[in-house]
Amino acid sequence: MDGGIVPDRPDELDADVNMNEALADIPAENDFEGGSLFIGTKGKVSCGWGGSHPRLLPLSLNKDVNVPKKYPRVEGDMDGHWWQWIDACIAGYGNAEVDSPFEGYAVPLTDTVLMGNLLLRSFTLRKKIKRKDPVYGEVEDYETPGRYVAYKWDGENMRIINFEAANQFVKREYRKGWGELKL
């Protein structure tokens, strides 16, 4: 649920249950930052931002769930990861243990998020064309060649290899005198 956009009411929710409270971030605290609803073949799961407060639907299933905490948790729960990042920055590279190590976790996650942004930007690219209209004859129109393309990413060379127009969003051309920072 984001920006007022909500899914259809799940059949598993009783009519007297507030859908925002049942599916959003923190139940009973009117915290409606957003939520996610996962619909699977065996049921549905809802959670708040960042996976907080996961719940099975129907809600009655949750009373029987007891999942042991198998992995260590960040101290401070949801807000703790911010402090862990700050503490690691203060300690300096390699001097603090973090739960989201850069090489093994943060890089692939960042790549995924940036690729999503690249796809969204490329989806809106338009190319002016002329086409024949049965009523008006030849008319100017637009096509959107970046839509419905399975982009192929070449990570080593940092580029999309099957839709060149998308690469304009990967790396910029700097103005003269404003080159890349050299350390």
pLDDT tens across 101-153, in order? Answer: 666 777 788 888 888 888 888 888 998 999 999 999 999 999 888 888 888 98
**Amino acid code (one letter) for 156:** E
Place of tokens 């905490």: 69
3: Cβ contacts below 8 Å, ≥ 6 apart? none
Domain ranges of the chain: 1-67, 71-99, 102-169
pLDDT tens across 19-72, in order? Answer: 877 777 665 565 556 778 899 888 899 887 777 778 888 888 888 778 787 877
